[in-house]
Chain A
Amino acid sequence: MKINQQKMEHIVIIGNGIAGVTAARHIRKKSDKKITIISGESKYFFSRTALMYVYMGHLKFEHTQPYENWFWKKNNIELKEGFVTKIETDKNQLLFKDNSSLFYDKLIIATGSKPNKFGWKGQDLKGVMGLYHKQDLENLEKFAPNKGVCKRAVIVGGGLIGIELAEMLRSRKIPVTFLVRETSFWNSVLPTQESEMINRHILEHQIDLRLNSNLKEIISDENGQVKSVIIEETNEEILCNVVGLTAGVSPNIDFLKNTNIACNKGVLVNLYLETNIPNIYAIGDCAEQTHPIVNRRPIEAVWYTGRMMGETVAQTICDKKTEYKPGNWFNSAKFLDIEYQTYGWVFSEQTKSENEGCFQWQHPSENKCISISYDKNSHEFLGINTFGIRMRHDIFDQWLSEKKSVEHILEFLADANFDPEFYKSHEAEIVTKFNQEMSTNIQVKKKSWKRIFSKV
């Protein structure tokens, strides 16, 4: 094995997040190539999305690691801790912060993202942090261990990470002010019905939600620590001990500045995830598609797309050149207590096009609602947002691929329900509303195992 490996190509992956690790695993499945994963953040792979649960006391950090520590040695994947400072593409060589170097045959850049900072005054003070890296979690434990030390926290930026940070701090009863630039939470993505439901839900959790509010500056105390923030619109000063900057993320590629690897916001790649330099690839949050795939953004900072790119690039590296084809869009999140899943495309009122119709249903008292978008002309089903009701991925993927009509979706909605057993289902109410609005006469079909497994 040892001798064999010396002859083997050396694949080096910078970044041990979901994209890099997935690539490594799939390369290992297909080959004996020498694999090294580099990380400056933590030796072992952990689930970034689970960091919040560590702070909330649901998990210990070790629980966020999907593989036991012996896994890497057993699969002959080398782990190297360190920060890459420079890539010498002409010599196929990486230089590290500690002045060591590493030779590669093929290089995969999977360095993920970093929190956005928009040049606010005071953005580098002590107590100002993003929520992305393991170190951010340690920082948060330091500056916001409890409501005694942290009397109030201000979160800037109303996206998925912002609301997660708010939930985290509230789990320790720390008062939170949540500055959201938009007129309603995440309404550039969510239709109004859903965005407003989340607004209400944020307030239910005693979070001081400030819509239409931007950060002007962060003010320091005498020790260089956060004392307060000033709001742009009102000049109001809010006293606080911690500021969470969660206004989105951008590719973490500063170390590529002086190389000949073509970058825009991210590392530019083609459909095969290849950069302009042969034998160098980029995947995950840091990759930017030169020609974006239909409806998708050029940079997708999503867990699932990172994983898929890892799977794809592994094929290419193992001499099976494969195009990145992410299939039907899906995503999920949890807004405080409300689970959210989406399949296909549902756009907000701001972004949707002329031909898109949207059928919506909302539960009269509970935090449950759905939005189904369809083509007004052909009635083709385009996508669904579901809040508080779990839906089956397989079924929606199949319906999207087969371009089923919106009427079909409603008729067979029970097949797609994925809530735990004995939960109350709402298909009848949903379809009744649809029938009223669309003057149709759809009868809900009972759940059928045969249909659910028809694909198998």
Chain B
Amino acid sequence: MKTIKYLGLGFFLVGFFIFTMAIFSGYFNFTEQELDCYISEKGYKSERLKEELLKSIVTDEKLSIFEFSSKVRATFETSNRHHEILISKYNSEKNWTKKGEEFQYKVSGKPHNLSFEIAKKAGKGFFKDQPTLAWWLTLGLGIFGALLFILPNVILLGKPVIKNDGIYNESATNRGFIAWLVLIYLVVFYLLLYFMPDYVVNWTFIFDPISNALNGGNASQWFVYGFLYCAIMLVMGARMYIKYRYNKYQIIRTTSVLFFQIVFAFLIPEIMTSLNMPGYDFKNAFPLDYDFFFEWNLKSLQNSGAIGLFILVWGIILTIIIVPVMVYFFGKRWYCSWVCGCGGLAETLGDPYRQHSDKSLNAWKLERWVIHLVLIFSILMTVVTLHCYFSGTSSLLGIKSQWIKDTYSFLIGAWFAGVIGTGFYPIFGNRIWCRFGCPLAAYLGFVQRFKSRFRITTNGGQCISCGNCSTYCEQGIDVRAYAQKGENIIRSSCVGCGICSAVCPRGVLKLENGPEKGRINPTKILLGNDVDLMKLLND
């Protein structure tokens, strides 16, 4: 069994290595015809741009993606600068016609994204030519190896009971060397994905056949991300199933997050795209889905007929009615740890790191400041955006719509939710985004704290203050602080993952939905003592 496990680890590492090395493989260049074809396809009108591209990337030389990218970016910059100089020249000459004409020659877009688009066409080599084989050598081998590593645990873990043996003795789960390596890998992965997609264009080739089958187009970096997301959740979901195989709550919950991720977040949007509809994740509620009210989205929905209108109405109802009503009945868990994609990744890939959330009072204070500021930020951004959309202006109270959208997308959407939110899993725990950043979580937290039937019940006086519950709370709640006083746990940040209850050695904690009356019981006295202490204290 152990041999199988290590063999699996070997396979996984080989697949993982090939996948990583794919970035450096293949070569990039254009022939003249290919360039002409590309330019007419994109409708670039600048002669200067064409000239420069001819010079830089029409070559027999086999450029690496890094050389190719820097050449393309430089080319776009040169061409754009050329036209800008002309614009200012015509401007000073007051030649308005010429000035107006000149604008069409400028190409807008982020340099790395422009480069990605060309690289997607200009790429050659193994990953472009043999995507299916490449898929098996990377994803295939990785998934197979990971499963081989995980599945023997059914037997190796012994009896189906909670098993946390050795978590703090292992480098990977005790912030050791391996954990830091994983952190660096994840952070770099997200930086490339968000800010330098052209560097990972080789990855997209691997997924072209699957993407074509699903939505009729080649794979973008987001398709790669979506696919990896699902694959990782499935593999680590298998780990969850095995680790918590005795615990029906965990089994059902894991099944639920896997279902919503694969069907709602991945398959349905892809299929919708292939049917020329806007690809929409029906479970992704605003304000987590922060660009729902962005101009481009509203326009795209308006232009999509009945389905567009339905999505618009559904999105609004989801946020203002369905989500809070469900939180009233079941707590925020129904969304955060049963449905949400971010939660889904945290509960599968992130489960081995759940013990790293900071439980200090200071962390709680920071959490309340940061998450509520993000909520305010997202609402402010949406108000500005909607105001500008309906009034046709470009700013509100001096806040430029484009600026605030870009800032939010960059700071919150990319850095907080992605680079930090997931990248920092191995050292800072698996719910950094959900705890400190998610504006939807902040909103649901209000409902859960003030108007809900959900609570974690503390079982009378049975707590022995051992600290397992607090340690394994991914949201950094000091569960023990409540349990040892006999108080129920009512916290806006609780996502109801149920692990505190699973790790409790004395059967003290139970997640349940019940009458609101008596839900919050801070004045209740610990059982097992006939003296009514609270009465004495209040005397």
Give A residues with C-beta under 8 Å from B.
Answer: 18, 26, 29-30, 47, 49-50, 53-54, 56-60, 63-66, 68, 171, 204, 303-304, 307-308, 311-312, 315, 320, 322-323, 325-328, 330, 332-334, 337, 339, 341, 390-394, 397, 418-424, 449-450, 452-453, 456
- Contact assessment for A327 and B530 in the assembled complex, using a CB-CB cutoff below 8 Å: yes
- Contact assessment for B464 and A50 in the assembled complex, using a CB-CB cutoff below 8 Å: yes
Chain A to chain B contacts (Cβ below 8 Å), 12 pairs: A49-B466, A66-B481, A204-B159, A311-B531, A326-B529, A327-B528, A334-B505, A339-B505, A393-B459, A393-B527, A421-B510, A449-B514
From 465 to 485 in chain B, residues with beta carbon under 8 angstroms from any chain A beta carbon are: 465-468, 470-471, 480-481, 484
From 504 to 520 in chain B, residues with beta carbon under 8 angstroms from any chain A beta carbon are: 505-507, 510-512, 514-515, 517-518
Top 10 A-B residue pairs of the complex, sorted by shortest distance between their CB atoms: A393-B460, A390-B507, A456-B518, A50-B466, A325-B530, A422-B248, A337-B161, A57-B166, A47-B465, A57-B169
* B261 is an interface residue with CB less than 8 A from chain A: no
Inter-chain CA distance A29–B252, complex, in Å, is: 44
- Contact assessment for B530 and A58 in the assembled complex, using a CB-CB cutoff below 8 Å: no
* B249 is an interface residue with CB less than 8 A from chain A: yes
- Contact assessment for B466 and A393 in the assembled complex, using a CB-CB cutoff below 8 Å: no
* B132 is an interface residue with CB less than 8 A from chain A: no
* B361 is an interface residue with CB less than 8 A from chain A: yes
- Contact assessment for B252 and A50 in the assembled complex, using a CB-CB cutoff below 8 Å: no
Residues of B within 8 Å of A450, CB to CB, are: 515
- Contact assessment for A66 and B527 in the assembled complex, using a CB-CB cutoff below 8 Å: no
Q: Which of B161, B515, B529 has the most CB of A within 10 A?
A: B529
- Contact assessment for B528 and A326 in the assembled complex, using a CB-CB cutoff below 8 Å: yes
Q: Which of B502, B505, B512 has the most CB of A within 10 A?
A: B505
**Nearest Cβ distance between residue B330 and chain A, in whole angstroms?**
10
Partner of B249, one of A49, A56, A337, A420: A420
Q: A56-B166, A303-B464 are in contact. Are A312 and B527 (CB under 8 A)?
A: no
- Contact assessment for B462 and A63 in the assembled complex, using a CB-CB cutoff below 8 Å: no
* B247 is an interface residue with CB less than 8 A from chain A: yes
* B167 is an interface residue with CB less than 8 A from chain A: yes
- Contact assessment for A66 and B480 in the assembled complex, using a CB-CB cutoff below 8 Å: yes
Residues of B within 8 Å of A418, CB to CB, are: 457, 459, 507, 510
* B164 is an interface residue with CB less than 8 A from chain A: yes
Residues of B within 8 Å of A54, CB to CB, are: 168
Q: Which of B464, B468, B498, B501 has the most CB of A within 10 A?
A: B464
Contact mask for chain B residues 443-471; partner A; CB cutoff 8 A; 1 contact, 0 none: 00000000000000101111011111011
Inter-chain CA distance A114–B462, complex, in Å, is: 23
20 additional A-B residue pairs with CB within 8 Å, beyond A59-B168, A422-B249, A449-B514: A56-B165, A56-B166, A57-B167, A57-B170, A58-B468, A63-B470, A171-B166, A308-B529, A315-B531, A330-B461, A330-B527, A390-B459, A394-B460, A394-B527, A397-B528, A420-B247, A420-B501, A450-B515, A453-B517, A456-B517
Q: Which of B165, B467, B517 has the most CB of A within 10 A?
A: B467
Q: A50-B465, A59-B471 are in contact. Are A325 and B512 (CB under 8 A)?
A: no
- Contact assessment for B507 and A307 in the assembled complex, using a CB-CB cutoff below 8 Å: no
Residues of B within 8 Å of A420, CB to CB, are: 247-249, 498, 501-502, 510-511
- Contact assessment for B471 and A58 in the assembled complex, using a CB-CB cutoff below 8 Å: yes
From 239 to 254 in chain B, residues with beta carbon under 8 angstroms from any chain A beta carbon are: 247-249, 252
Inter-chain CA distance A341–B457, complex, in Å, is: 17
Residues of B within 8 Å of A419, CB to CB, are: 510
* B537 is an interface residue with CB less than 8 A from chain A: yes
Give B residues with C-beta under 8 Å from A.
Answer: 159, 161, 164-170, 247-249, 252, 360-361, 457, 459-462, 464-468, 470-471, 480-481, 484, 498, 501-503, 505-507, 510-512, 514-515, 517-518, 521, 526-531, 533, 536-537, 539
- Contact assessment for A47 and B466 in the assembled complex, using a CB-CB cutoff below 8 Å: yes
Inter-chain CA distance A397–B168, complex, in Å, is: 38
**Nearest Cβ distance between residue A437 and chain B, in whole angstroms?**
27
- Contact assessment for A57 and B462 in the assembled complex, using a CB-CB cutoff below 8 Å: no
Residues of A within 8 Å of B529, CB to CB, are: 308, 311-312, 325-327
- Contact assessment for A449 and B515 in the assembled complex, using a CB-CB cutoff below 8 Å: yes
Residues of A within 8 Å of B530, CB to CB, are: 325-327
Q: A325-B531, A326-B530, A420-B502 are in contact. Are A315 and B165 (CB under 8 A)?
A: no
Residues of A within 8 Å of B248, CB to CB, are: 420-424
**Nearest Cβ distance between residue A206 and chain B, in whole angstroms?**
10
Inter-chain CA distance A332–B483, complex, in Å, is: 15
Inter-chain CA distance A421–B466, complex, in Å, is: 23
Q: Which of A307, A326, A452 has the most CB of B within 10 A?
A: A307
Partner of B536, one of A56, A59, A320, A456: A320
Residues of B within 8 Å of A308, CB to CB, are: 526, 528-529
Inter-chain CA distance A68–B507, complex, in Å, is: 25
- Contact assessment for A66 and B459 in the assembled complex, using a CB-CB cutoff below 8 Å: no
**Nearest Cβ distance between residue B113 and chain A, in whole angstroms?**
45
Residues of A within 8 Å of B503, CB to CB, are: 58
**Nearest Cβ distance between residue B508 and chain A, in whole angstroms?**
8
**Nearest Cβ distance between residue B466 and chain A, in whole angstroms?**
4
**Nearest Cβ distance between residue A44 and chain B, in whole angstroms?**
13
Chain A, residue nearest B170 (CB): A57
Residues of A within 8 Å of B515, CB to CB, are: 449-450, 453
- Contact assessment for A57 and B165 in the assembled complex, using a CB-CB cutoff below 8 Å: yes
Residues of B within 8 Å of A315, CB to CB, are: 531, 533, 536
- Contact assessment for A29 and B517 in the assembled complex, using a CB-CB cutoff below 8 Å: no
Chain B, residue nearest A66 (CB): B465
- Contact assessment for B464 and A57 in the assembled complex, using a CB-CB cutoff below 8 Å: no
**Nearest Cβ distance between residue B231 and chain A, in whole angstroms?**
27
**Nearest Cβ distance between residue A138 and chain B, in whole angstroms?**
16
Q: A60-B168, A63-B470 are in contact. Are A330 and B462 (CB under 8 A)?
A: yes
Chain A, residue nearest B472 (CB): A58
Residues of B within 8 Å of A171, CB to CB, are: 165-166
**Nearest Cβ distance between residue A181 and chain B, in whole angstroms?**
26
Chain A, residue nearest B512 (CB): A421
Residues of B within 8 Å of A449, CB to CB, are: 514-515
Inter-chain CA distance A326–B165, complex, in Å, is: 35
Q: Which of B159, B510, B531 has the most CB of A within 10 A?
A: B531
Residues of B within 8 Å of A327, CB to CB, are: 527-530
Q: A59-B168, A332-B507 are in contact. Are A53 and B468 (CB under 8 A)?
A: yes
Residues of B within 8 Å of A311, CB to CB, are: 526, 529, 531, 533
- Contact assessment for A337 and B166 in the assembled complex, using a CB-CB cutoff below 8 Å: no
